[in-house]
């Protein structure tokens, strides 16, 4: 999602910009510092889990102590810290929100990972890496900011031949779905597609598809929605009577209601692929 200048405006914040209020307010109209503050009190800013991160990592076999890894749209680094604790190499986390990066670097220091893990503020469409520099590009729930197909194509040049990309992306599980959830996604992220079509895009972009798997429901319920309950309480307590804060929370709650109602039709899928050509 971009502003008028084409700058990535959201990182790991999930698709909650469906119009909901009588004023047809969307996420684009909120103060982005407010968005950051709302999601700052959660370990993960989107669906996922340590188990899922490690499952995806298990398909990657080329990492050494000298490997260079980029986690794009890293948020506060919940998944990044899991990577760093189970894989060798140096990791750069990149996110648009300075508040997320401050927390990211604080988390790295708290785990004594600061020598190998560093967070920087940046944009997905202007990466600060050299061509063929990276051994692994990681992005959980964030590639949608630049678009799945565009991200696959533009990020590929930063990978070494034989390097991996591992991303989780929203997908349709069925060819047909109820109008309410279909319309929601067409408004929020019209690039959402079925799993076979997304795998085809991976291959078309010059990667060898290595693995794909659907994130289990627990990644949404226990690792994303449940932590948001306390985050909402703290957020609303800090901004009592603030209509904007209340609308932001209402949007997030609406996302949860839709998932619980229509989870058989869509979800997140993890894709792991290898760059096989120059």
CA quadruple 269, 77, 190, 258: dihedral, nearest 10: 80
Is the confidence at residue 23, as pLDDT, over 60? no
Q: Which two tokens stand for residue 150?
A: 């565009």
| pLDDT one-digit tens code per residue, 180-232 | 999 999 999 999 999 999 999 999 999 999 999 999 999 999 999 999 999 99
| pLDDT one-digit tens code per residue, 79-121 | 999 999 999 999 999 999 999 999 999 999 999 999 999 999 9
Give the whole-angstrom CA distance, residue 252 versus residue 241: 17
| pLDDT one-digit tens code per residue, 68-79 | 999 999 999 999
b or e along 42-69 (b: 16 or more beta carbons within 10 Å of the residue's beta carbon)? bbbbbbbbbebbeebbebbeebeeebbb
Domain boundaries, the chain: 7-42+219-263, 50-215+267-275
The structure's pTM equals 0.89
| pLDDT one-digit tens code per residue, 141-186 | 999 999 999 999 999 999 999 999 999 999 999 999 999 999 999 9
Cβ neighbours for 176, distance < 8 A, ≥ 6 positions apart:
none
Q: Which two tokens stand for residue 49?
A: 């889990």
pLDDT of the residue at 196: 98
Give the whole-angstrom CA distance, residue 184 versus residue 259: 11
pLDDT of the residue at 121: 97
Domain 50-215+267-275 - what CATH class?
alpha beta
Average pLDDT over the chain, rounded to whole? Answer: 89
DSSP-assigned letter for residue 240: T
């Amino acid at each position: 999602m971009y502003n008028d200048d084409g700058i990535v405006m959201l990182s790991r914040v999930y698709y909650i910009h469906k119009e909901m209020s009588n004023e047809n307010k969307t996420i684009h109209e909120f103060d982005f510092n407010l968005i950051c503050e709302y999601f700052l009190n959660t370990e993960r800013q989107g669906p996922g889990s340590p188990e899922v991160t490690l499952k995806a990592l298990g398909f990657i076999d080329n990492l050494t102590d000298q490997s260079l890894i980029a986690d794009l749209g890293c948020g506060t680094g919940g998944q990044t810290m899991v990577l760093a604790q189970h894989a060798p190499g140096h990791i750069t986390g990149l996110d648009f929100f300075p508040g997320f990066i401050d927390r990211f670097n604080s988390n790295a220091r708290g785990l004594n990972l600061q020598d190998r893990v560093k967070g920087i503020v940046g944009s997905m469409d202007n990466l600060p890496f050299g061509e063929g520099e990276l051994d692994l590009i990681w992005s959980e729930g964030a590639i949608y900011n630049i678009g799945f197909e565009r991200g696959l194509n533009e990020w590929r040049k930063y990978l070494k031949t034989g390097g991996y990309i591992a991303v989780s992306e929203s997908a349709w599980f069925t060819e047909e779905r109820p109008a309410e959830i279909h319309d929601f996604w067409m408004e929020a992220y019209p690039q959402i597609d079925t799993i076979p079509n997304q795998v085809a895009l991976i291959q078309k972009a010059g990667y060898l598809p290595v693995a794909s798997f659907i994130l289990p429901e627990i990644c949404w319920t226990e690792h994303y929605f449940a932590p948001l309950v306390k985050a909402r309480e703290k957020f609303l307590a800090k901004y009592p009577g603030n209509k904007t804060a209340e609308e932001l929370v209402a949007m997030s709650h609406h996302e949860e209601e839709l998932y619980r109602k229509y989870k058989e039709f869509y979800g997140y899928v993890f894709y792991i692929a290898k760059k096989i050509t120059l």
